[in-house]
Amino acid sequence: MIIELGHFALILAFCMAVIQCVIPLIGAERGDVGWMNVARPCALIQAALIIFSFAALMYAFVTSDFSVVSVVENSHSAKPMLYKISGVWGNHEGSMVLWVLILSVFGAMVALFGTALAPSFKARVLGVQGALGAAFLLFIITTSNPFRRVFPAPVDGNGLNPLLQDPGLAFHPPFLYLGYVGFSVTFAFAVAALLEGQVNASWARWVRPWTLGAWAALTVGIALGSYWAYYELGWGGWWFWDPVENASLMPWLAGTALLHSSVVTEKRGVLKSWSILLAILAFSLSLLGTFLVRSGVLTSVHAFAVDPRRGIFVLLILAVFVGGSLTLYALRAPLLKADSFFAPISREGGLVLNNLLLTVAAATVLIGTLYPLILEGVDGGPITVGPPFFNMTFGPLMVALLVIMPFGPMLAWKRADLLGAAQRLWWAGLLAAVTVLTVLTIVRQGPYLAALGIGLGVWLICGAIAEWTSRIKLFSEKTSRAWARARNLPRSAYGTALGHAGMGVLVLGITGVSAWRVEKIEALAPGQSMNVAGYNFQLESIAKVQGPNYWANRAVVQVTQGENHVVTLYPEKRSYPVAGMATTEAAIYTHWISDLYVVLGDRQGTPESGAWAVRVYRNPLVDFIWIGAIIMALGGMISLSDRRLRIGLPARRRVVPPSAPLPAE
């Protein structure tokens, strides 16, 4: 009964979404306030219906209702509760319901908190959101209904793919979707602004928090996915330039560009049409990612759908929204006039360069991802565009971006003094240079580029610190005054510094693991040992153990360094009888700043020899990659909490003038 109600609620939500799209848009065009006001209740009811529907689906998974097809296909009664819940979005149908759930909740938030928006503008934003909701709800109802029943109901389910039964992956899709769908709000704002024909500072002030939130969530989502790949797939790698990974990287790059350009639009009233275009692109790339992953064009662990109807449907949604918004952009963008001008050497100029490099980098990722598909389409034969391609194209562009990054926040608006910025950065540059020389002379092994990479990381981190110290005038004024300044510094300034420093930490991690990773494979019988990078790994024993829904061969590996015992590791090779598949559970121990990573392979040679393949990695600095990403996301969240970005503030400020002048930025 609850299942049918959930299904019914989804259909009602679709009807609501259609009304939310059509009536307010017509109302806004005609200037009819009554019609415009329809948007708010529609958005709220739609969100309530979808929340109910999602709860119904979750109920089916939690109670293991095997009369529902998607539960049968993706759940099992013996599965731990966390994975019963994450199983809701661990499959195609459920993940699409999660998508529309987030979309409708965001729509409801705009409806609830958007009291300061002009009525016609708000109606248009919600109308566009309604159109998106309607399209995706129709997609779910017609091609991927999660509430389909099966009769007779099987006794038990097929279980979730064991690789997906992992805490990291349980939360990876929701964060990713928060990011993707968060960009739908900026998209709706962009399209509404084009319909209105004007963009002002309050537009950018609205778009910034949504971009920040979406960007931070996407950062966490990508980091979780990468961390999952690192410890669950057992290859010791953290990024594979897999098309599905690229699909999430592209909106991130466009979102990062939007994050920066919307600042310029808010503060200086320039780059308006560019910010609009970026808002459209960020969401279009999110949709493209959905299409690539959901259509079955790409084969991957994430690609659930193999039904061609679904691919065509998502392609249609993509064509309508991307094509429509870009056409609108072409028609309306010339109307947007800049409020001021800037010299090439200025904060604005720096941000333009940042945007240029980010979007071009996103374009190279797009080419690398789509080229094999296009070549196959014109019958050029199946090919692979692998990591070397991205290292050669994406790499140099990113390095250029990172080298100039610390200069950006040091430049003044409108017209800046490059020499002055360089003077405030001299010690960061000096430290970076000293680091490069130190790495070159002390470490000696590894490529020269590695030293430069470490230097770049130090440059970014010190650059971020230099920005902070120069803002609070730490060394040029009395310390007590500097601390007072530090307390009054807007949170968005801390956000910038953290974001940039996080990037530096990330660069250190990438460089470390790419340049100095050590890998060794050997066949070991119990009692034998191998030496890797100064550590001794002894395979003590191997035993069979039973888990909740699997059994495993678990090895006991004693790790020693010289005389000292470091740690005992337990790598496993699990076998999931329900799914009929095996997974590798790598054992990872972080010793100082390196990860020791042990994987148990197959039994080797004759059964009597009792030898097992053991693969050992030492991955230096690898954890910095995810720590860096978390610092970046944290920077985004701190920026988001800046009082100047709080939603609704533009309206209140008009009534109550700020008591104390805000510190100059």
Partner 1 sequence: MNRKRRRIALLVSSLVVLAVAVVLVLTALQDTIVFFYSPSDLQKKNVAIDTPIRLGGLIQTGSVVKQDNNVIEFTVTDGAASVNVHYKGIVPDLFREGQGIVAEGYLKSAHEFVADTILAKHDENYMPREVADALKKSGHWQGESKAP
- Chain contacts with partner 1 (rule: CB under 8 A): 158, 161, 163, 233-235, 299-301, 341-344, 352-353, 356-357, 360-361, 363-364, 367, 371, 381-386, 388-389, 392-393, 396-397, 521-523, 573, 579-584, 599, 601-602, 604-605, 609, 611, 613, 615
Contact 46, 109 (CB under 8 A): no
- Supply the minimum distance, in Å, between the C-beta of residue 241 and partner 1: 11
Return the number of the residue (209 or 243) whose C-beta is nearest partner 1: 243
- Supply the minimum distance, in Å, between the C-beta of residue 608 and partner 1: 12
Ramachandran sector of residue 559 (left: φ over 0; alpha: ψ -120 to 50; beta: rest)? beta
> Could you give the C-alpha distances from 485 to 107, 421, 489, 663, in angstroms and in order?
38, 20, 6, 8
3-state secondary structure of 270: coil
CA distance 256 to 207: 13
DSSP classification of residue 440 = I
Residue with tokens 């090919």: 383
Return the number of the residue (505 or 611) whose C-beta is nearest partner 1: 611
Contact 628, 506 (CB under 8 A): yes
How many residues are present in the chain? 665
Q: Which residues, at least 6 apart from 597, have a Cβ–Cβ distance to it below 8 Å?
A: 236, 586, 587, 588, 616, 617, 618, 619
- Supply the minimum distance, in Å, between the C-beta of residue 283 and partner 1: 23
Backbone angles phi, psi at 386, to 5 degrees: -105, -165
Return the number of the residue (100 or 357) whose C-beta is nearest partner 1: 357
Backbone angles phi, psi at 575, to 5 degrees: -130, 120
- Supply the minimum distance, in Å, between the C-beta of residue 584 and partner 1: 6
3-state secondary structure of 659: coil
3-state secondary structure of 610: coil
Return the number of the residue (114 or 408) whose C-beta is nearest partner 1: 408
- Supply the minimum distance, in Å, between the C-beta of residue 582 and partner 1: 4
Return the number of the residue (45 or 358) whose C-beta is nearest partner 1: 358
Return the number of the residue (296 or 650) whose C-beta is nearest partner 1: 296
Return the number of the residue (62 or 333) whose C-beta is nearest partner 1: 333
CA distance 105 to 177: 12
- Supply the minimum distance, in Å, between the C-beta of residue 553 and partner 1: 12
For the four alpha carbons of 290, 292, 293 and 294, in that order, the dihedral sign comes to positive
3-state secondary structure of 216: helix
DSSP assignment of 17-56: HHHHHHHHHHHHHHT-HHHHTTHHHHHHHHHHHHHHHHHH
- Supply the minimum distance, in Å, between the C-beta of residue 594 and partner 1: 21
CA distance 525 to 515: 31
- Supply the minimum distance, in Å, between the C-beta of residue 609 and partner 1: 8
- Supply the minimum distance, in Å, between the C-beta of residue 360 and partner 1: 5
- Supply the minimum distance, in Å, between the C-beta of residue 365 and partner 1: 10
**In terms of Cα–Cα distance, which of 114, 335, 103, 95 is closest to 206?**
114
Return the number of the residue (40 or 618) whose C-beta is nearest partner 1: 618
- Supply the minimum distance, in Å, between the C-beta of residue 523 and partner 1: 6
DSSP classification of residue 643 = G
Contact 493, 471 (CB under 8 A): yes
Return the number of the residue (360 or 440) whose C-beta is nearest partner 1: 360
- Supply the minimum distance, in Å, between the C-beta of residue 98 and partner 1: 21
Return the number of the residue (326 or 353) whose C-beta is nearest partner 1: 353
- Supply the minimum distance, in Å, between the C-beta of residue 279 and partner 1: 19
- Supply the minimum distance, in Å, between the C-beta of residue 368 and partner 1: 8
Return the number of the residue (91 or 129) whose C-beta is nearest partner 1: 91
Give the amino acid at 142.
Answer: T
**In terms of Cα–Cα distance, which of 193, 223, 136, 148 is closest to 329?**
193
Return the number of the residue (33 or 383) whose C-beta is nearest partner 1: 383
DSSP assignment of 104-159: HHHHHHHHHHGGGS-HHHHHHHHHHHHHHHHHHHHHHHHH--TT-B-SSPPSS---
Q: At what angle do helices 201-232 and 167-196 cross, to 10 degrees?
A: 160
Q: Which residues is 555 bridged to in the sheet?
A: 542
CA distance 20 to 647: 22
152 upstream amide cis, omega within 30 of 0: yes
Tokens of 157: 């389910």
Return the number of the residue (1 or 419) whose C-beta is nearest partner 1: 419
Return the number of the residue (300 or 560) whose C-beta is nearest partner 1: 300
Return the number of the residue (67 or 641) whose C-beta is nearest partner 1: 67
- Supply the minimum distance, in Å, between the C-beta of residue 539 and partner 1: 14
Tokens of 51: 């929340």
Tokens of 313: 């449907």
